[in-house]
Amino acid sequence: MSSCRLFVKNFPKDATEKKIKEFFSAKGTVTDVSLKFTVEGKFRRFGFIGFASDAEAAEAQSYFDKTFMGASRLHVELSRDVSEKPRPWSKYSEGSTAYVKAHPEVAAAQRREIEQKRKEELLKKRLERKKRDFLKDVFGVLPDDEEFKEFLAVNQSEKLLWTNDEAAQPKETAAALQDEAALAEDSGVEIDPSPGKRLPKVIFPHVVVVRNLSFKWKRRDIKEFFKGLSVCSIRKCLKHGVKGVAYVAFKNAEDLAKALEKDKCFMERRRVHVIEHRERSPQTGEKCASRKFSDNEIAPDVIADTGRLFIRNLPYSTTEAELEELLKPFGPLAELHLSIDSITKQPKGFAFATFVFPEHAAKAYQALDYSTFHGRLMHVIPGLAKPQEDPLLSNPGCSSFKAEKAAKTKALASSVHSWNSLFLGPNAVADVMVGQYGVEKTKLLGTETGESVAVRMALGETQIVNETREFLEQRGVDLSVFKQSATQRSKTILLVKNLPAGTQEKTLWDLFGGKSPQTLRRVVLPPSGVTGLVEFCEPQEARSAFKRFAYTMFQDRPLYLEWAPVNVFSRDPSEQESTRPTDPGGTDEHDEPTKDQGENDPLDGPQQQDSSAGAMESDVMVEEGATLFVKNINFSTTSDGLKQHFASCRPVQAMVATKIDIRQPGKTLSMGYGFVQFSSASDAMAALKTLQHSKLDSHTLELKMSRREVQVAGVVPRKEQKLGKASTKILVRNVPFQATRKELQELFAVFGKLKTVRLPKKMFGGDTGSHRGFAFAEFMTKSDAKRAFDALCQSTHLYGRRLVLEWAAEEDGDTEALRRKTAEQFIEGTSSKRLKKADLMNTLEGNVSH
């Protein structure tokens, strides 16, 4: 038996909750101390102690059992579940012998009940004997004859018409028929008795509702539970999705009062609730809906409509993740809210949980009510529907259509989007460049110099994006998580987009932190000030800010909010990052323009870098045949572990092949093989000879030469893009049709000396002479080509279309190869295919001749 609560007896008379908590805290985290007192307030010297886990409770039980607290020897044992009620033994517990001795009136009532039951049994046997003798004397047959029973059942006047086939069933009494009629009246289903006599409408003024019953309860169980009381009707609740509820009627108010005393007693190892049933008018229902939660006001059938639960008496150390783990086995959650104190940031001990399907909420209610969670007995109450905000009140001055549309847009704001996080609009690019270089926008967008404005804006966007990426990486932002598909979203980090150019970090601190900046953990805003990251300390505060600021107007534009992916930050915030800036007019160290930026003319685009800088880059060009294929890798081995295993042979990089885990979005699973890349083929051959059949994580590795190259990314990107092998030639896709060869040449000439720029044109169709939407840019050196590729492949837009860059194969730029590929699409049976067929025939003829 495992439990996180202890039952402790023989406490000292002067023991208090504080002393007991300090005494038992030596062996774990005490979450609850519950001492028991009599009605008069006398301490009964026993109680229950709750711990955070079962292991701590078991350790405390073995340590404190039969030890002394003061002069009293304690008896400590693991607490039973509330449904496992033991036999009562105390004089304070009803049902024990000591209780009967202390209450003589109870013993007298029990004797009267036993005597009455004995008389009823004797009377019943006497009537049965007389009936048998009468049937035998008059008809000369035994009453046990099956055919005679069927004859009596068919000719019985007080029997329902459709029960002729149920001759073996016992005879229906008038009381049972009344019960069925009352049930029909309650459920809305009409049940007609025999046409000979229709029963009058029966109204029971004294009715109680019994809840939390077993789904398979019987009428005899209810009668046994209310033994000694005058039960005159037992009805089921036939509302769809509601089970475990019964309506019990009594003859008088005295029996009703005694029945209400059985509230929270146990029936078949379940704690049941007995509440007086009262008919409510629509006005009364509206009043109850506006009041606070109360056990007697909210019925379990509310769960079938709302699917919402109110959970209280939670430990103050509970987190949302622990509560979500507790509730998820019952079904998917639509919303989970754990209330916290706005000052101390500690949970208040209650939460709200909304399930996607109400039947899952009903299962959770039946299973978790009065169950143990981290040492405390949870109390689960059916929750009322979440109040809906009036769109007209939240959007004053708008028409009903606009208000409803705004409310709908805000409601859908929490859905996961896959937008380009580094996208910058043309107006934002122009604003950033104007503020950075101190020129007028008319001059920036002018054509006096003869240069293309589209190229100028594309180069400006490229420079801003590269500066933003460098800044975010310095602040510990992992940009690779934005490229992962089906990634899990964070609950505390918001991605704030569509900010005005030049927005300062202090503005975001004031906007999302308000008067309590301690709610924010960090704010990261790049120099451009267009897109930023805001991290909150608690998920509840992040959700509240999301609902409050999504699609609200900030200065002259709406704010676009999105939940950032998990693990977007690779490190904890530094002291400077977690502190709100104090100088309203100052700039951060990253906002100060450098001398080169001040002297550089924005009309000339970014300064051309020296080609020797490309040779100092970290990416090393590897030879062909320098990659090893590794099989039989342990599923727990990582890429770093694989690279460390080959460290003696100087590997360039290593990767374990992975796939997306369908059950856990955002995570990957190893596929049991991988690749190790070296700088030269000789190093790869040496590693093959040295480490063949070596062991890594208890697995023997099998090595083979591979023709593939290792990809740096260990996960599948959002859109699989074939980049090809690095060379001097770049293939540019998605080129806008209004772009010219001169504009492309101006765009790529910034990064190095160009050899040629080709823009293939259409040969057929109505718009003959326009290009085909792709181009080739060839540089003189590989370093210049790689510098241009790295700069423009991130997020560069030309005439509003994003340029997609790939490394071009050698034959892609060859005119003869392009002509040959085009001809193969129109001519059936190419020369290459005929040549392969001829080789096959010659091979077969050679085999036959031999």
Residue 462 lies in a domain: yes
Which whole-number Å values give the CA distances from 193 to 159, 196, 799, in the listed order? 7, 8, 82
Residue 266 lies in a domain: yes
Are 490 and 355 in the same domain? no
- d(CA 764, CA 269) in angstroms, rounded, equals 84
Q: Are the C-beta atoms of residues 376 and 349 closer than 8 Å to each other?
A: no
pLDDT of residue 735: 92
Q: Are the C-beta atoms of residues 699 and 706 closer than 8 Å to each other?
A: no
What mean pLDDT is predicted for residues 597-603? Answer: 43
Residue 685: domain span = 622-706
Q: What percent of the chain has pLDDT over 90?
A: 11
Are 634 and 685 in the same domain? yes
Last residue of a domain, which of 382, 417, 439?
382
Are 435 and 583 in the same domain? yes
pLDDT of residue 326: 92
* 586 has a pLDDT exceeding 50: no
pLDDT of residue 458: 87
* 352 has a pLDDT exceeding 90: yes
H or E element at residue 596: helix 595-599
pLDDT tier at 757, thresholds 50, 70, 90: very high
pLDDT of residue 772: 85
Residue 157's contacts (CB-CB under 8 Å, 6 or more residues apart) are 194, 196, 197
- Which pairs with CB-CB distance under 8 Å and at least 24 residues apart come from 510-517? 511/549, 511/554, 512/536, 512/545, 512/549, 513/580, 516/342, 517/580
Residue 849 lies in a domain: no
Residue 712's contacts (CB-CB under 8 Å, 6 or more residues apart) are 653, 655
- d(CA 246, CA 209) in angstroms, rounded, equals 6
Higher pLDDT, 378 or 795: 378
* 543 has a pLDDT exceeding 60: yes
- d(CA 110, CA 104) in angstroms, rounded, equals 10
pLDDT of residue 814: 58
Are 448 and 588 in the same domain? yes
- d(CA 261, CA 225) in angstroms, rounded, equals 12
Are 450 and 586 in the same domain? yes
Q: Are the C-beta atoms of residues 680 and 646 closer than 8 Å to each other?
A: no
Higher pLDDT, 588 or 313: 313
What mean pLDDT is predicted for residues 222-249? Answer: 80
- Cα 330 to its chain centre, rounded Å, is 14
H or E element at residue 677: strand 668-678
- d(CA 214, CA 115) in angstroms, rounded, equals 31
Q: Which residue has the tokens 């062991």?
A: 695
DSSP string, 188-211: T------TT-PPPP---SEEEEEE
* 729 has a pLDDT exceeding 60: yes
- d(CA 494, CA 542) in angstroms, rounded, equals 8
CB count in 10 Å sphere of residue 511: 18
Are 740 and 654 in the same domain? no
- Number of separate domains in the chain: 6
What mean pLDDT is predicted for residues 598-605? Answer: 44
CATH code of the domain containing 57: 3.30.70.330
pLDDT of residue 823: 66
Residue 846 lies in a domain: no
What mean pLDDT is predicted for residues 524-532? Answer: 86
pLDDT of residue 358: 87
Residue 408 lies in a domain: no
Residue 292's contacts (CB-CB under 8 Å, 6 or more residues apart) are none
Are 648 and 684 in the same domain? yes
Tens-place pLDDT, residues 242-278:
677 888 988 888 888 888 888 878 887 778 888 887 7
pLDDT of residue 500: 86
Higher pLDDT, 429 or 85: 429
Q: Characterise 131 by phi-psi region: left (phi > 0), alpha (psi -120 to 50), beta (else).
A: alpha
Are 690 and 737 in the same domain? no
- d(CA 17, CA 12) in angstroms, rounded, equals 12
Residue 550's contacts (CB-CB under 8 Å, 6 or more residues apart) are 410, 413, 414, 559, 560, 561
As a residue count, the chain comes to 850
Q: Are the C-beta atoms of residues 546 and 561 closer than 8 Å to each other?
A: yes
**797: which 2 tokens?**
């837009």
Tens-place pLDDT, residues 796-840:
888 888 899 998 876 555 556 666 666 665 554 444 444 455 555
Last residue of a domain, which of 61, 80, 99?
80
* 850 has a pLDDT exceeding 50: no
Residue 453 lies in a domain: yes
pLDDT of residue 272: 83
Tens-place pLDDT, residues 294-305:
444 455 678 888
Last residue of a domain, which of 674, 706, 738?
706
Are 432 and 514 in the same domain? yes
Q: Are the C-beta atoms of residues 751 and 784 closer than 8 Å to each other?
A: yes
Tens-place pLDDT, residues 308-341:
999 999 998 888 889 999 999 998 998 899 988 8
What mean pLDDT is predicted for residues 40-58? Answer: 89
Are 567 and 501 in the same domain? yes
Are 544 and 628 in the same domain? no
Higher pLDDT, 361 or 709: 361
Of the listed ranges 165-174, 254-263, 576-585, 658-667, the least confidently predicted one is 165-174
Mean pLDDT of the chain: 75
Alpha helices in 420-452 (DSSP H): 426-437, 441-444
Residue 647 lies in a domain: yes
pLDDT of residue 87: 61
According to DSSP, the residues that pair with 69 across neighbouring strands are 72
pLDDT tier at 140, thresholds 50, 70, 90: low
Tens-place pLDDT, residues 157-169:
544 444 444 444 4
Best-predicted range by mean pLDDT among 82-96, 356-370, 561-575, 664-678?
A: 356-370
What mean pLDDT is predicted for residues 70-75? Answer: 91
Are 483 and 531 in the same domain? yes
Residue 306 lies in a domain: yes
* 592 has a pLDDT exceeding 50: no
- d(CA 214, CA 378) in angstroms, rounded, equals 19
